[in-house]
């Protein structure tokens, strides 16, 4: 048996396009049209659309509510949200389409460090000085709260980026895309799973591998896990097809980003219902109440992928009582 430390991810072609939106792409989105009721807006009230009226159609297995679940392979909060989204789809008449996008560190590396000189002391702390420390601690706290005992901070990081030590002269420097061993490999496997209608299934398998491993060996676990998803194509054949036809798979994450932009957001994870975005794993509850408001019903029988009931999940009957009295 080969040593897991010897595993090397396959070579990946560099995408022709990364999908970073232009200003024109981001105008006229749902959030821009709805961000204020008009009562306190400095904008022309006529330019704002009223809140959407709840749906009145019966919600059934044949006519489910539809949610887009935007994720990134580098987002720990995406990892922490998958279980609840899977439970939502399995137990309720709601179709959750899991959509992968490229991590923001690849689309816009400047996100992790500003370049504009600010007035004040020469050693003024950067605006995001607390960001990574808070993420590392908060995700462990969220995992404990949700009962996700497997969660750890990923090692190696899916994005090759200088995060330690804090006083490193290249702090927050992100390696060039051609020097990134994992991101294109994992993203395109997600795209392959989405094309096969198995992206939620793959998310349930992939995240607990990447984000439960501090041994540095998680990359070697990916091929076998992908085989178990059942996309209709073996891992090896999928890799060969990706290498031969990268544009076929890149079109998936590019289209996914358009869905995200149309809603008016660029963060991850985002759930989107009727074009309304809910940013972050901590907005799942708000999205759930909106589903209930729009007639969410329980399934007669659970559907795959099956997961255990989350440690904490909203009380459906209580939410219905609040919504409808």
- What phi and psi, each to the nearest 5 degrees, are found at residue 155? -145, 115
For residue 242, the model assigns a pLDDT of 98
Between the alpha carbon of residue 168 and those of residues 74, 104, 165, 177, 301, the distances in Å are: 22, 22, 5, 21, 54
Segment 164-203, tens digit of pLDDT: 776 777 667 888 899 999 999 999 999 999 999 999 999 9
CATH assignment of the domain containing 227: 3.40.30.10
- C-alpha angle 138-210-74 in degrees, rounded to nearest 5: 60
C-alpha to C-alpha distance for 189 and 96, rounded to whole angstroms: 19
Report if residue 282 sits inside a domain.
yes
189: number of Cβ within 10 Å: 25
C-alpha to C-alpha distance for 47 and 285, rounded to whole angstroms: 29
Report if residue 314 sits inside a domain.
yes
The residue whose two tokens read 């072609």 is 13
C-alpha to C-alpha distance for 119 and 107, rounded to whole angstroms: 28
**What stretch of H or E contains 86?**
helix 82-91
Q: Which of 47-61, 222-236, 307-321 has the lowest mean pLDDT?
A: 47-61
Segment 223-268, tens digit of pLDDT: 999 999 999 999 999 999 999 999 999 999 999 999 999 999 999 9
Report if residue 298 sits inside a domain.
yes
Between the alpha carbon of residue 113 and those of residues 3, 117, 126, 181, the distances in Å are: 37, 12, 7, 22
Query: Mean of the pLDDT values across residues 119-134?
Result: 74
Q: Which of 55-59, 84-88, 160-164 has the lowest mean pLDDT?
A: 160-164
C-alpha to C-alpha distance for 85 and 182, rounded to whole angstroms: 25
Report if residue 35 sits inside a domain.
no
Report if residue 77 sits inside a domain.
yes
Structural tokens at position 5:
């430390």
Find the DSSP H helices in 147-296: 183-195, 199-210, 222-229, 235-244, 246-263, 284-293
For residue 1, the model assigns a pLDDT of 43
User: At residue 46, does pLDDT exceed 50?
Assistant: yes
Tally the residues of the chain: 325
Q: What is the mean pLDDT of the chain?
A: 89
What's the pLDDT band for 5 if we cut at 50, 70, 90?
confident
Segment 105-123, tens digit of pLDDT: 887 666 655 444 555 666 7
Residue span of the structural domain in which 189 resides? 58-109+129-324
Report if residue 4 sits inside a domain.
no
**What stretch of H or E contains 296?**
none
For residue 20, the model assigns a pLDDT of 82
Contact residues for 242 (Cβ-Cβ < 8 A; gap 6+): 12, 188, 189, 192, 249
User: At residue 43, does pLDDT exceed 70?
Assistant: no
Report if residue 143 sits inside a domain.
yes
Higher pLDDT, 37 or 4: 4
The residue whose two tokens read 């939410």 is 319
Q: Please give the order of strands across the beta sheet that includes 65-71.
A: 94-100, 65-71, 270-273, 276-279
Structural tokens at position 238:
């999928």
Higher pLDDT, 214 or 55: 55
Higher pLDDT, 207 or 3: 207
Higher pLDDT, 1 or 212: 212
Between the alpha carbon of residue 114 and those of residues 26, 103, 131, the distances in Å are: 21, 18, 13
Q: Which of 6-15, 36-45, 240-249, 262-271 has the lowest mean pLDDT?
A: 36-45
C-alpha to C-alpha distance for 151 and 13, rounded to whole angstroms: 31
Report if residue 48 sits inside a domain.
no
Residue 221 · residue 10 · CB < 8 Å: no
Highest mean pLDDT (candidates 13-27, 96-110, 120-134, 199-213): 199-213
Structural tokens at position 135:
């993420």
For residue 22, the model assigns a pLDDT of 86
- Contacts within 8 Å (CB) and 24+ apart, 31-37: 31/263, 31/264, 31/265, 31/276, 31/277, 32/264, 34/276, 35/264
How many structural domains are present in the chain?
1
pTM of the model: 0.91
């Amino acid at each position: 048996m080969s040593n897991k430390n010897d595993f090397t991810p396959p070579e990946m072609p560099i995408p022709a396009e990364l999908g970073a939106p232009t200003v024109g792409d981001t105008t006229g989105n749902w959030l821009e049209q709805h961000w204020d009721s008009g009562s306190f807006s400095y904008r022309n009230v006529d330019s704002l659309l009223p809140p959407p009226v709840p749906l009145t159609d019966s919600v059934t297995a044949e006519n489910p509510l539809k949610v887009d679940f935007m994720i990134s392979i580098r987002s720990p909060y995406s990892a922490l949200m998958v279980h609840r989204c899977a439970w939502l789809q399995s137990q309720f008449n709601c179709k959750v389409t899991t959509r992968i996008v490229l991590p923001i560190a690849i689309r816009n590396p400047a996100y992790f460090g500003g370049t504009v000189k600010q007035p004040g002391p020469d050693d003024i702390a950067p605006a995001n000085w607390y960001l990574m420390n808070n993420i590392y601690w908060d995700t462990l706290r969220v995992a404990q709260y949700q009962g996700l005992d497997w969660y750890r901070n990923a090692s190696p990081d899916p994005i090759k980026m200088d995060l330690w030590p804090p006083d490193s002269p290249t702090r927050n420097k992100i390696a060039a895309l051609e020097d990134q061993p994992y991101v294109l490999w994992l993203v395109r496997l997600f795209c392959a799973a989405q094309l096969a209608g198995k992206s939620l299934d793959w998310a349930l398998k992939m995240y607990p591998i990447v984000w439960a491993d501090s041994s540095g060996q998680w990359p070697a676990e990916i091929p076998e896990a992908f085989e178990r998803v059942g996309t209709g194509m073996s891992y090896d054949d999928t890799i060969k097809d990706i290498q031969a036809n990268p544009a076929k798979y890149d079109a998936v994450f590019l289209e996914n980003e358009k869905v995200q932009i149309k809603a008016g957001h660029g963060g991850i994870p985002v759930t989107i219902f009727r074009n309304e975005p809910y940013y972050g794993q901590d907005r799942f509850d708000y999205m759930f109440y909106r589903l209930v408001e729009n007639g969410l019903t329980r399934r007669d029988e659970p559907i795959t992928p099956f997961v255990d009931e989350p440690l904490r999940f909203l009380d459906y009957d209580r939410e219905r009582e609040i919504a409808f009295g």
